[in-house]
Homo-oligomer: A and B are copies of this chain.
Amino acid sequence: MSLKLCFIGAGNLATHLATTCSKAGLEIVQVYSRTEDSAKLLADKLNTAYTTQTSSLVNYADIYFVALKDSAVEQVLSGIEFGDKLVVHCSGSLPLNVLSRFAKNHGVFYSLQTFSKNRKVDFRKIPIFIEASSEENLQILKEIANTVSESVTVLNSEKRKSLHIAAVFACNFANHCYAMAAKYLETKDLPFEILRPLIMETASKAQEMHPKQAQTGPAIRFDENIINAHLNELTEMPDLQELYNSISKSIFAHHQKKQ
């Protein structure tokens, strides 16, 4: 493939995706970001050009990857002339057709992963979900996706949105549970580090077991002795107490129902 890519956006996702594409031999011809620091940082990593003005976007890229937060996509794209170039967004939640008024040829390239700056991820293991306005565009995205990942699936906008909701639970909410544990331990002068093997094993179990079968702890059978003692301990942290109560009730309800 001798495709030329342009990245609109230079955040966590853009950084990981663009560097992965570049290493895989795809040519990144330009990076756009509203802030010069971000644009320059990513462009330097890729050894390519950058701009902070959409009016200065190159017109010779084959594909424009839009890796912006959802709420910025329409605003940033307004006024750009894409002609018949392929414009692709990377969002879990936005439907394919948000792009139809900007470009005839459009698509979606959603990487199901949590990206943080300065943390390497192995893109080959990241499931990628693609969708496009035509079979031809879909083939182009499939080729790019197969270049960077072992797991590529065609998925429509409706299912991708569902997947994104599930990902919020499995990733963002699970991580918040870690964060609440850390917050509580801090008040008790205990280090968060001691929970790390437990966190790793909990995730490892979910690689092989269904999480319902893997569930342990006092909430499954609503062990009131332990639960009430814990709620009592959390009196001075009402936010944690409320979460403890509502999640415990949800666990119990989930294990009461026949599966």
Asked whether, in the complex, the Cβ of B127 is within 8 Å of the Cβ of A197, the reply is yes
Segment touching B, from A17-25, A38-46, A139-147, A238-246 = A238-246
Q: Mark A191-215, 1 if CB is under 8 A from B, else 0.
A: 0101111111111111111111111
Q: Which residues of B contact A202 (CB under 8 A)?
A: 114, 170-171, 174-175, 203
How far apart sit A56 and B70, CA to CA, in the bound complex (Å)? 67
Q: Which of A170, A188, A233 has the most CB of B within 10 A?
A: A170
Alpha-carbon distance between A212 and B247 when the two chains are bound, in angstroms? 20
Q: How many copies does the complex hold?
A: 2
B178, A169: Cβ atoms under 8 Å?
yes
In this complex, which of A203, A204, A216, A244 has the most chain B Cβ atoms within 10 angstroms of its Cβ? Answer: A203
Taken together as a complex, chains A and B put the C-alpha atoms of A233 and B164 apart, in Å, by: 11
A61 contacts B by Cβ under 8 Å: no
Interchain CB contact under 8 A, A170 and B199: yes
Question: Which of the 9-residue segments A47-55, A80-88, A224-232 touches chain B?
Answer: A224-232
Interface assignment of A234: CB less than 8 Å from any CB of chain B: yes
A165-B230 in contact given A178-B170, A179-B211, A183-B254 (Cβ < 8 Å): yes
In the complex, the answer to whether A206 meets B113 with C-beta atoms within 8 Å is: no
Query: With A119-B205, A205-B116 given, is the CB distance from A181 to B176 under 8 Å?
Result: no
Interface size class of A (residues with CB under 8 A): 35 or more
Q: Least Cβ distance of A238 to chain B in Å?
A: 11
13 other A-B residue contacts (CB within 8 Å) besides A12-B216, A114-B217:
A112-B198, A113-B201, A116-B214, A127-B194, A151-B197, A159-B190, A170-B199, A172-B251, A173-B247, A175-B211, A176-B219, A176-B250, A239-B250
Q: Which residues of A contact B (CB under 8 A)?
A: 12, 69-71, 93, 112-116, 119, 121, 125-127, 151, 153, 159, 161-185, 188, 190, 192, 194-219, 223, 225-226, 229-230, 233-234, 239-240, 242-244, 246-247, 250-251, 253-254
- Chosen A-B contacts, 11 in total, with CB atoms closer than 8 Å, are A70-B223, A93-B230, A114-B202, A116-B205, A161-B233, A168-B217, A168-B244, A169-B181, A169-B244, A175-B205, A176-B251
Sorted nearest first, the 10 A-B pairs with minimum C-beta distance are A172-B217, A203-B203, A178-B211, A169-B181, A170-B181, A166-B181, A179-B211, A174-B174, A162-B188, A174-B177
